[in-house]
Chain A
Amino acid sequence: MNQPLVRLTRREFLRTGTIGAATVSALGFDLTAAYAQVRELKIARTTETRSTCPYCSVSCGVIIHTLGDRSRNVRPAVVHVEGDPDHPINQGTLCPKGITLKQNIVNDRRLTKVKYRAPGSRVWEEKPWDWAIDRIARLVKDTRDRRLRIEDARGRALHALTAVGVIGGCTDTNEVNYLLVKAFRAGLGVVPIEQQARI
């Protein structure tokens, strides 16, 4: 992501450096060059966003460095992720997974399209979001209409949907967990709702 920027800088440095070296090498080194250029800091011009590592439950503070936020028509891109030195737990440090979080964000294996597998098929098909939402909603409603358990054999109220299961959440925020519970349990009546805590 940051390669173009860094390369440019290095190339400039290389150009001046090589000319300098060529002229001086016959004479010994140019002793006036008592300073050496070092690599440009790749986070010198980045925007920093405070975030939390999504892996284990230590929940280290991380700083996500992005470039491109300040230009029009440029999509900001993550160039580096580093531990948040202010965070009282990790104090800037990170484990091998956390320190390479950039690869969790910028990764050519990320899903970028809705994929659909038809019954009996051996392939994914790409589909638009609207189509997928419509189709999923239809399937949910059909299942619920047929399988909602209104009451039990003794006539006691249930309003329970046990033909649909929902798992998730431990990788997501409290707010999304709450919305899942609200929409699926309080709304649709789904009873089998679980997450990773159990396993």
Chain B
Amino acid sequence: MSLELLRISASGSPAPGVRSVPAVTKLVDTTTCIGCKACEVACQEWNDLPPEPTTQTGTYQTLPDLTANFWNLITFNEHDDSGTLRWLMRKDQCMHCSEPGCLIACPAPGAIVQYANGIVDFQQDHCIGCGYCVTGCPFDVPKFNPRTRRVYKCTLCVDRVSVGLQPACVKACPTSCLQFGTKEAMLEIANRRVEQLKASGFARAAVYDPPGVGGTGVVTVLAFADQPELYGLPRDPTVPMAVSFWKGPLKWIGNLAMLGGLAVAAIHYVRFGRKEDPDQIPNPKDQIPNSTTRL
């Protein structure tokens, strides 16, 4: 199985000979999500990711944030909509940006690729663990695994998609709040749903497909689209300025990095500080500053 490439990290040129392949897109309709978390474990199960140690911290949310082994997190946010309680669920995962900040930032040749169908995929075998993709991502998605010293995130189940199957999370979703297809088709469904929401009183409903990153491979229907922060989404995400640097003058560092572990260590030190104990499990409780709002 192989897929045609569109773009490769730390490479100046686009891949040649790209035919017109329709971009694939995942639709997340937050208004029909019941927060069942089937997608969370469908993802882990399919990708053979081990369960994360968790504790109950006073929320239905599994973890405070994505991790290197947890690429798909449903966030639970309570919102008081002028007296009416709303329990807003949102699927936090890689957005598969058309202009992927991670890929642009990545100094390691081939560590991040963008397939012609739009999927942004990390090739851990080429990853140098520098963490620049983490900085480059406006959604704070890629996560560093201190044990393997690589960075991980949702692959949009490229292995399944390449043989015509839906991503594992979409396949599992009981309410079909997750759907998968061409961007055009997904936007059509999303816009239809938005119209329906508007007709039933959600005047501010809209599709979240931020132009700052060229649009995303994951489009999200929001009932309160004027306040994406309610869902933990940035209002106007862009590729960070600093990252654009990588594309040009600093590209050689990435190439160097491939040749020696020294550079890896140095870059890692700059990015993360001294080596963390890989067995240390972060206490999620410490990471929810105001957990009552995330019930």
B12 CB, nearest partner CB in chain A, Å: 6
A121 at the interface (CB under 8 A from B): no
> Closest chain A residue to B158 by CB distance?
A38
Complex CA–CA separation, A6 to B1 (angstroms) = 14
Asked if A38 meets B162 with Cβ closer than 8 Å, knowing A2-B48, A31-B13, A31-B16, the reply is: yes
B15 at the interface (CB under 8 A from A): yes
B129 at the interface (CB under 8 A from A): no
A124 at the interface (CB under 8 A from B): no
Partner of B125, one of A3, A18, A40, A99: A18
Complex CA–CA separation, A37 to B3 (angstroms) = 7
Do B13 and A28 touch across chains, with their CB atoms under 8 A apart? yes
Do A40 and B159 touch across chains, with their CB atoms under 8 A apart? yes
Do B172 and A99 touch across chains, with their CB atoms under 8 A apart? yes
Complex CA–CA separation, A126 to B2 (angstroms) = 51
Do B40 and A25 touch across chains, with their CB atoms under 8 A apart? no
Do B3 and A38 touch across chains, with their CB atoms under 8 A apart? yes
Do A80 and B45 touch across chains, with their CB atoms under 8 A apart? yes
Complex CA–CA separation, A80 to B45 (angstroms) = 8
Residues of A within 8 A of B113 (CB): 36
Complex CA–CA separation, A37 to B172 (angstroms) = 25
B203 at the interface (CB under 8 A from A): no
Complex CA–CA separation, A93 to B158 (angstroms) = 19
**A-facing residues in B109-143 (Cβ within 8 Å):** 109-110, 113, 115, 121, 123, 125-126
A122 CB, nearest partner CB in chain B, Å: 31
**A-facing residues in B1-17 (Cβ within 8 Å):** 1-5, 8, 10-13, 15-17
Do A83 and B15 touch across chains, with their CB atoms under 8 A apart? no
Complex CA–CA separation, A6 to B165 (angstroms) = 18
Complex CA–CA separation, A59 to B18 (angstroms) = 45
Do B2 and A37 touch across chains, with their CB atoms under 8 A apart? yes
A147 CB, nearest partner CB in chain B, Å: 47
Do B12 and A28 touch across chains, with their CB atoms under 8 A apart? yes
A153 at the interface (CB under 8 A from B): no
Partner of A24, one of B15, B38, B46, B109: B109
**Size category, B interface:** 35 or more
Partner of A29, one of B11, B17, B37, B159: B11
B253 CB, nearest partner CB in chain A, Å: 12
Residues of B within 8 A of A93 (CB): 38, 171-174, 176
Asked if A29 meets B109 with Cβ closer than 8 Å, knowing A93-B176, A99-B45, the reply is: yes
Do A21 and B176 touch across chains, with their CB atoms under 8 A apart? no
Do B160 and A95 touch across chains, with their CB atoms under 8 A apart? no
B42 at the interface (CB under 8 A from A): yes
Residues of B within 8 A of A39 (CB): 1, 155, 158-159
Residues of B within 8 A of A41 (CB): 1, 159-160, 163, 165
Do B125 and A29 touch across chains, with their CB atoms under 8 A apart? no
Asked if A13 meets B125 with Cβ closer than 8 Å, knowing A22-B258, A34-B16, A92-B171, the reply is: yes
**B-facing residues in A74-98 (Cβ within 8 Å):** 80, 82-83, 90, 92-96, 98
B70 CB, nearest partner CB in chain A, Å: 13
**A-facing residues in B152-211 (Cβ within 8 Å):** 155, 158-160, 162-163, 165, 171-174, 176
* Residue interface bits B17-37, CB-to-A below 8 A is 1, else 0: 110000000000000000011
A131 at the interface (CB under 8 A from B): no
Residues of B within 8 A of A38 (CB): 1-3, 121, 158-159, 162
Complex CA–CA separation, A85 to B154 (angstroms) = 23
A193 at the interface (CB under 8 A from B): no
Partner of B11, one of A13, A28, A36, A98: A28
B41 at the interface (CB under 8 A from A): yes
Which of A's residues lie within 8 Å of B, judged by CB?
2-3, 6, 13-14, 17-18, 21-22, 24-26, 28-29, 31, 33-42, 44, 80, 82-83, 90, 92-96, 98-100, 102
A-B contact pairs, 30 of them (CB 8 A): A2-B48, A13-B125, A21-B109, A25-B258, A28-B13, A29-B8, A29-B10, A29-B13, A29-B110, A31-B13, A31-B15, A38-B1, A39-B155, A40-B1, A41-B165, A42-B46, A44-B163, A80-B46, A82-B171, A83-B171, A93-B176, A94-B38, A95-B38, A95-B172, A96-B36, A96-B40, A99-B38, A99-B41, A100-B41, A102-B45
Going nearest first, the 9 A-B pairs with the smallest beta carbon separation are A29-B11, A39-B159, A35-B2, A25-B258, A34-B15, A96-B38, A99-B42, A38-B158, A93-B174
